[in-house]
Structure 1
């Protein structure tokens, strides 16, 4: 490809719908890169050198995981990974501290790592049509998600969510945070009750049987 020999100071590059199977890594200094609608199943490690890149479009490819090189792009503010085959997200995603938009619709995610909740600059997070059954308890800490416009900045549709249930998720991050706080409070109370019963039974087991009989109140007939 001619792009391999390009010496022009490219800022934006779009290679979409060209049946691309590998990435031309000889292009540096990019601000925006669009590689959507291709057949990419991996990304070269050299992509981690694109330290100026702030917008990356990789929708509709064949990625099964987040390549390590992606998590080295510390300047990214926009990342579109929709319509791939991604089933896990690495903990190293926490390195993308400037990320504001993360699109993961139509993948195969079964869980969302708590590391995503460390991306405090996120205001748009689309997770629709995956296999998510639960969200991490820290999800409510993503306070910059904008829930005010028709529930579109954070999308969960098409997931078999159980914890929190969909009706809680639709009310925003504060409701999600309250849900988990309430959930943990109930758990703590239940555990405290179990501990009390365990101690009581243990002390009961140490009590001589004859003493127990003598301590029982007499019932007159």
Structure 2
């Protein structure tokens, strides 16, 4: 059952709070009431002291305020928090206690001044959506991908990221990765582990991103790839294998492979070009010369040697008449069958 009511926080200035309560049956026979608290767009500089039990809040909306920090003690008590929205504030960092939110599924911190996400965010293992757009992020926690394996959407566009951590490629549940408008110089090499990735946007990294890894073409679930407005000169041939790809944006790049005239013909032409190029590069290699060929090359097979363009006989390799096997084992002849002699350059045994 869902209903609305107004509730006041205990502070000198009265603040109206939109609280939606719903009843959910827990694992046992008891029932607990989870509350949705909306404090958005109230020009708050700091948070009021709540009169309700923080452990009963499942969604807290603090967006569009003037908050500069979130108290550690507040976050630590939001034990049943599922959605936390603090977008469009003045936050420079998130509290370390955010790692206590083991049930958190959606975190929106976009439109702030955050340079680093706390390492403790790796403990939010239920997280499915992380929106950190429009901040000042320089890097993401190194092990974020190893821990947030349930993450389905990662949005970090409009930041100052130079690279994505290698652990990003371990987010096997990830469906959307938006890293446009950053300073990315490269992407992780083993992207093929992102087996559920459907949308990859790395556009507008401008003068920084000059190539895509081969593994981009191994993203078998990829539907949309946007790599426009970078410095990419050549697309990986493997992109020609992306059967589910429906949208490819590569404008604004100095592409030579595929050439502009192919790109202008659309996705099908690009995939066909790259596929043909890949097949041409995987033609059967030149057959290796057999050991007999090596003997002939070095002039050791038939007892002939070349000196000054004139082939001449080598006495050491000619047996003028038949000899029994035991005589061939004599020291006079065993030397001619040594590996060193057979495969040495032709001028090694010059007379």
TM-score of the superposed pair, with normalisation by structure 1: 0.72
Distance 2:93 2:236 in 1: 34
Alignment of 1:1-221 (within 5 A): 1-7=47-53, 9-23=56-70, 24-25=74-75, 26-93=77-144, 94-146=146-198, 153-159=199-205, 160-164=208-212, 173-174=219-220, 178=238, 217-218=307-308
Aligned residue for 2:139, secondary structure, equals: coil
Q: 1:176 to 1:100 in 2, by over 3 A?
A: farther
Question: Structure 1 stretches of 5 or more lacking a match?
Answer: 147-152, 180-185, 187-214
Aligned residue for 1:102, secondary structure, equals: strand
Distance 1:89 1:117 in 2: 13
Question: Structure 2 stretches of 5 or more lacking a match?
Answer: 1-46, 221-234, 240-280, 282-304, 311-351
Distance 1:49 1:5 in 2: 21
Q: Give yes or no for contact 1:141–1:177 (8 Å, CA) kept in 2.
A: no
Count of residue correspondences: 179
Distance 1:30 1:3 in 2: 17
Deviation digits for residues 23-42 of structure 1 (CA, Å, limit 9, x no counterpart): 14243311100000111111
Q: 1:54 to 1:18 in 2, by over 3 A?
A: same
> Higher relative contact order by CA 8 Å / sep ≥ 6: 1 or 2?
1
Q: Give yes or no for contact 2:175–2:196 (8 Å, CA) kept in 1.
A: yes
| Structure (1 or 2) with the greater strand fraction | 2
Which has the higher Rg, Structure 1 or Structure 2? Answer: 2
Aligned residue for 1:38, secondary structure, equals: coil
Distance 2:67 2:89 in 1: 5
1:176 is displaced (CA, Å) by 6.2
Q: 1:172 to 1:84 in 2, by over 3 A?
A: farther
| Structure (1 or 2) with the greater helix fraction | 1
Distance 1:49 1:177 in 2: 45
Aligned residue for 1:137, secondary structure, equals: coil
Distance 1:72 1:177 in 2: 38
Aligned residue for 1:2, secondary structure, equals: coil
TM-score of the superposed pair, with normalisation by structure 2: 0.46
